[in-house]
Amino acid sequence: MLVRDGCGTVRIGAHQYLISRDSLVLAMPNTPHHQMTDNSIEKFVCMFDMGLVEPLLSRDQVRGHLRQLGSRYPAAVELTPSDALDAESMFEWLCIEHSRTRLGRGTVVAGVLGHLMVQLLRQSTVSVSSAASEPVEEFRDDFERVVAHLHEHFTEPINRRSVARSLGMRPEYVSRAFGRVNGGESFAGYLTSLRLGHAAELLQSTILSANEIARLSGFHSYRTFARAFRSRHGLSPSAFRKATAAA
């Protein structure tokens, strides 16, 4: 999302961001997001399947950084005026490409979306690196392997030990990699965030029961799910579903 005019706030996962003209925002899959404002905001919004840009994301560690939006990196940034003009042109180009059936449309759209995500990441990572030193590089590749595994299997009954065994690592090393690379967020915290994000999406987009959603999101019991969900969102799953449906 690119804000063209107006101001307000947006909540992505567990974080709330102030947004105004020239704000660029990206909510990753399975991350609940909700705009909260009484003001009228003029904006460009694009929803897309990450599979469209997946072939581009393995280059330059882009995929690993994107998975850390909302945890290590902010998911909303303020662009410079010149970068905002570039971003606005790209959104307008996306609108044109989407409205026509032309040769190579998918390739063009994927390239433009990739450019926008890199633009957001560059600003987002700069804001973090100015406040803290870069993580130890020796852990980065293994950390990204663990994160990729979690994104593929978080709905399954996995834990730190089983993931470490699948990837040929020691459980202690997995914890250490998270501590050094992911801004102190623990393995368990990251896994719970993925599961809660998925559950929130299902609560908003399906009529499945909360018990079924807990199971499909990887929680071994409804009690564990409900406790974690209330701790994160301040609402029970059923109250969250009613609140988001009324918004």
Residue 245 lies inside a defined structural domain of this protein: yes
125 lies in the same domain as 191: no
| Among the listed residues 50, 48, 58, the one whose alpha carbon sits nearest the alpha carbon of residue 98 | 48
Residue 102 lies inside a defined structural domain of this protein: yes
Is 10 domain-assigned? yes
- The answer to whether residues 8 and 125 belong to one domain is yes
Is 203 contained in some domain?
yes
**Tell me, what's the pLDDT at 219?**
94
Residues 88 and 206 in one domain: no
Q: What was the pLDDT predicted at 6?
A: 77
The range of the structural domain enclosing residue 205 comes to: 187-247
Pair (103, 6) in one structural domain:
yes
Task: Read off the CATH number of the domain in which 82 is found.
Answer: 2.60.120
Same domain, 102 and 194: no
Asked if the structure places residue 146 within a domain, the reply is no
Domain CATH number, residue 203 = 1.10.10.60
Tell me what pLDDT residue 152 has: 93
Closest CA to 220 of 160, 161, 165, 156: 156
Q: What is the pLDDT of residue 129?
A: 54
* Prediction pTM value: 0.55
> What residue ranges of the chain have pLDDT lower than 70?
35-39, 58-60, 127-136, 183-184, 247
Q: Is 149 part of a structural domain of the chain?
A: no
- Are residue 122 and residue 195 in the same domain, yes or no? no
Q: What is the dihedral of CA 40, 44, 45, 51, to 10 degrees?
A: -170
Helices (H), the chain: 54-57, 62-66, 81-99, 105-129, 137-153, 160-167, 171-181, 187-205, 210-216, 222-233, 237-246
The pLDDT of residue 131:
42
